[in-house]
């Protein structure tokens, strides 16, 4: 229909509503709607939006006073275009923080404040906060519709009063606009869920960079520049390679190795103790007794075998008679071997118990002394090696250039920017009104 040429129709009194500002047909999102959504955004940003908006409005309101003439249509249009752009930028920044750094920061705080929590719990905490954010978004959509539609319909009643046809058309347009808005606004929750999934994949990729190149130094991950990362690695290695820390590491290393040396030490102590000499003497006696037992027993078996042959006349009778005597001799020898071996084992056990009686304290002292000497030597050797290699070995465990390149390859446009910009357009378009009548423009209904 073309723009009016006089300033009065461009900003009619009917449009001077605290919930919407409109000039020259240029849309400016309802301040109430914008601020209502900002309630779900970071408090700091909401405050900044209000403060900056207040300053911008004051500057805009005084611009005409600074000029000598009446502002032109172009000047008015440019003024409100700038205000529109300002709100878009502020909204997008706040939205990106709300669904990015704010969730990450709160997740870190919860992780640190949870006793026994591990780094692997971070993903679960963040997923919970993201679900809360999705619920907040849906609740905000309903709140905007509830308050915005009521305000829109009341504006129709106030402006058209008894002009029932125009009032009815205006009212229908309000219902149509906010019905479509609610549907699209709730649909944004699905977009936000996809955004979180993309962000999680990006976070997983960054974690692979961190763990693959610098897994032992999480403090380095928080640094932005490669120089700061190198400084963090140097600080961590300086703390790790002090004489006190090296000694602790070497002592821990020996504590893990001591049991592997204990068996050899015990064997050595047994060989050096009086118990060993005592046992060797008693062992010789037991062996002699075993040989005597075996010799006497087998002699008895031979005598019984000869007696069996004589009485059974094996040389003149059946062959089975000789076999019977041979089997008896074999059984006799087996019984002698078993009895003598059992007596020998019993003698050795008795000898060991007799020799070890009262020698436990001596053996324990020998074991402890030798293990302590081995431990001191091991720790000293370890300290000498680590003192030379620790700084270099420590630095090699965090490959900063490779990690920085890996992270750089993953950098790019924040996926939240497209989501937030699209959400702004939704809010913006839903607030379109006819600059002449003040009725909502049903863009979303098309």
Span 275-292, pLDDT tens digits: 667 777 778 888 888 888
Per-residue confidence (pLDDT) for residue 443, from 0 to 100: 52
SS3 call for 48? helix
List, for residues 385-407, the tens digit of each pLDDT value: 988 899 899 999 999 999 999 98
Count of other CB atoms within 10 angstroms of residue 192 = 20
> What average pLDDT score do residues 47-75 get?
56
Check residue 443 and report its DSSP letter.
Answer: S
Helix, strand, coil percentages in the chain from 3-state DSSP, rounded to 5: 80, 0, 20
> What average pLDDT score do residues 422-441 get?
83
- What the block records as the tokens of 36 is 């209502």
Per-residue confidence (pLDDT) for residue 400, from 0 to 100: 93
> Rounded distance, CA 196 to CA 131, Å?
10
Is the Cβ–Cβ distance between 384 and 190 less than 8 Å?
Answer: no
pLDDT beyond 80 at 377: yes
pLDDT beyond 80 at 55: no
- What the block records as the tokens of 316 is 């003149």
Highest mean pLDDT among 72-76, 111-115, 233-237, 423-427: 233-237
pTM: 0.52
Beta bridge partners of 23: 26
Which residues touch 140 (CB under 8 Å, ≥6 apart)?
Answer: 36, 37, 39, 40, 185
> Rounded distance, CA 231 to CA 404, Å?
14
pLDDT beyond 80 at 27: no
């Amino acid at each position: 229909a073309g723009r009016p040429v006089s300033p009065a129709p461009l900003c009619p009194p009917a449009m001077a509503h605290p919930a919407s500002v409109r000039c020259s047909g240029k849309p400016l999102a309802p301040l109430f709607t914008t601020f209502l959504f900002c309630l779900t955004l970071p408090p700091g940003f909401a405050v900044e939006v209000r403060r900056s908006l207040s300053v911008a409005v004051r500057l805009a309101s005084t611009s005409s006073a600074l000029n000598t003439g009446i502002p032109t249509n172009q000047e008015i249009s440019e003024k409100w275009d700038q205000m529109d752009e300002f709100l878009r930028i502020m909204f997008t920044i706040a939205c990106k923080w709300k669904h990015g750094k704010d969730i990450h920061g709160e997740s870190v705080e919860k992780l640190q404040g949870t006793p026994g929590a591990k780094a692997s719990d971070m993903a679960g905490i963040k997923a919970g906060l993201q679900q809360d954010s999705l619920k907040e978004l849906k609740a905000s959509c309903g709140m905007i519709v509830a308050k915005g539609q009521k305000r829109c319909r009341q504006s129709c009643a106030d402006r058209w009063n008894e002009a029932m046809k125009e009032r009815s058309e205006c009212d229908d347009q309000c219902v149509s606009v906010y019905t479509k808005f609610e549907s699209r606004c709730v649909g944004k929750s699905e977009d936000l869920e996809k955004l979180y999934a993309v962000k999680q994949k990006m976070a997983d990729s960054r974690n692979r960079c961190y763990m693959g190149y610098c897994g032992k130094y999480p403090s380095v991950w928080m640094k932005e520049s490669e120089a700061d990362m190198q400084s963090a690695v140097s600080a961590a290695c300086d703390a790790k390679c002090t004489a006190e820390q090296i000694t602790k590491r070497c002592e821990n290393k020996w504590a893990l190795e001591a049991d592997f040396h204990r068996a050899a030490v015990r064997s050595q102590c047994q060989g050096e103790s009086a118990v060993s000499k005592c046992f060797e003497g008693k062992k010789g006696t037991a062996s002699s007794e075993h040989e005597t037992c075996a010799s006497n027993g087998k002699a008895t078996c031979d005598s019984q075998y000869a007696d069996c042959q004589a009485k059974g006349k094996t040389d003149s009778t059946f062959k089975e008679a000789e076999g019977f005597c041979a089997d008896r001799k074999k059984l006799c020898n087996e019984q002698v071997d078993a009895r003598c071996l059992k007596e020998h084992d019993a003698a050795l056990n008795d000898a060991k118990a007799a020799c070890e009686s009262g020698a436990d304290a001596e053996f324990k002292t020998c074991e402890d002394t030798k293990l302590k000497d081995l431990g001191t030597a091991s720790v000293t050797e370890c300290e000498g090696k680590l003192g030379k290699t620790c700084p270099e070995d420590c630095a090699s465990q965090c490959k900063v250039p490779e990690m920085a390149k890996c992270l750089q390859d993953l950098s790019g446009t924040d996926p939240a920017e497209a989501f937030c910009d699209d959400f702004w357009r939704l809010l913006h378009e839903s607030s379109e009104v006819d600059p002449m009548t003040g009725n909502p423009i049903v863009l979303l209904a098309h």
